[in-house]
Chain A
Amino acid sequence: MREPRDYDDIPGTYVFDGEHSRKGYHLNMFCMSLNKAENRGRFRESEAAYLQRFPMTEEQRQAVLERDWLDMLRLGGNIYYTFKIAIFDGLTMQQAGAAMSGTGMSVEEFQQMMLDGGRPVKGNRSKADKSK
């Protein structure tokens, strides 16, 4: 584990630093492969078989199969890469955003939150001090 960093205090945020990138390299490169139509076809044919082509951890494969967006981030995924799976599924950013909120927020609730000015920064700046 690397030394603690000041950004570790930001809630609900997975900073894609070196440690994260190292952990998620193969997961992210699998996601990247979905840029190619022929690979999207192979993944559609059999998700589990296609995932075997990449030296990912079993946990990472499971997170992809279950579309556990938060777990993918925890396991080293980067949103721009994991969003390729959301694109494959035909999801919008709002659908992915609602799913990641981790509070059971519906897509409609997420959309309404955005229309109302977005998720407020107040109370969401610091794990240590929720009043900030």
Chain B
Amino acid sequence: MAKIIAGVGTSHVPAIGAAVDFGKQIEPYWQPFFEGIVPAREWIKEVKPDVCIIVYNDHASAFSLENISTFSIGVAPEFQPADEGYGPRKVPVVKGNSEFAWHIAESLILDEFDMTICNEMPVDHGLTVPLSVMYDQPDAWPCEVIPFCVNVIQYPPPTANRCYQLGKALRKAIDSYDRDITVAVFGTGGMSHQLQGERAGLVNKEFDIDFLDKLVSTPEELTKVSHTEFLRESGSEGIELIMWLIMRGAMDPEVEEKYRFYHIPVSNTAYGLTILENKA
């Protein structure tokens, strides 16, 4: 049977992708960041998940305002890096796992989470930057990937609680898949940041650290955070943190935090990384 072996939370700041792609890792600005993610890269080399389910948001790449889907899952055998206006990132094609993705889609919908099912879905930095964070620059990504996309651009995004409950349903879907594979779930985006308006550049370290702490020990408390509280406290784009709750919902109630890294700034964002494993 499929087995969930870890949850990863990471911001997906596009500048990280550019720093990797253009060899800026050793520049003074980037050096502390790339040093901070080394233990995560070493960890994933050890645990080697077969499949990573990456919860992320699209940034006007695959989706636009033409059709706005709250929760989408990519069921294709592969996904091309999207052109976000710079030309596509020169990263490997993302290989999916169509059979497993369809199993998840069916399981979730029968469990009353009405997913949008995507056969055509270019993937942008929201998905490829977390891969670069964890795997650096391989010739091919060492895992299969199931893109799991959440609307956080058009207000209202799903509630924190809805995301957490969806995570629990995702866990059921993983546990009921009849193949011996190991699975990691990534929650991406955040942490506190605001890209728009006169408040651009907002960072709230206290909120972020509290979020990271509660994510481990009392995630139910985070499910009560309202949209307005996220917007006010973590910035208009900090609301992406709801996606980390899908990851957390898929984990056991009791988890161990294997690694944490928090760094300000990465571009206009407070960067956060957490690695969670179920307690044995």
Contacts and interface: CB of A to CB of B under 8 A. Distances in A.
Contacts of A70: 197-198
Interface in B142-180: 153-156
A80 to B, nearest CB: 5
Interface string A115-128: 10111110011100
A73 B197 contact: yes
Nearest to B66: A29
Given A13-B231, A16-B153, A25-B65, A110 B202 contact: no
- Classify the interface of chain A: helix, strand, loop or mixed: helix
Given A7-B227, A115-B265, A125-B232, A110 B84 contact: no
Contact of B195 (A83, A98, A115): A83
Contact of A101 (B65, B84, B155, B200): B200
Contacts of B228: 5-7, 10
Interface in A93-125: 93-94, 96-98, 100-103, 110, 113-115, 117-121, 124-125
Interface residues of A, number: 56
Interface residues of B, number: 45
B153 A119 contact: no
B85 A84 contact: yes
A73 B197 CA distance: 7
A63 interface: no
B61 interface: yes
Interface string B84-97: 11110000000000
B181 interface: no
A16 B228 CA distance: 13
Interface stretch (B40-48, B129-137, B203-211, B247-255): B203-211
A13 B231 CA distance: 9
A88 interface: yes
A32 B64 contact: yes
B64 A119 contact: no
B66 to A, nearest CB: 8
Interface in A60-95: 70, 73, 78-81, 83-84, 87-88, 92-94
Interface of B: 14-15, 59-61, 64-66, 82-87, 153-156, 192-205, 207, 227-228, 231-233, 236-237, 264-265, 267-268, 270
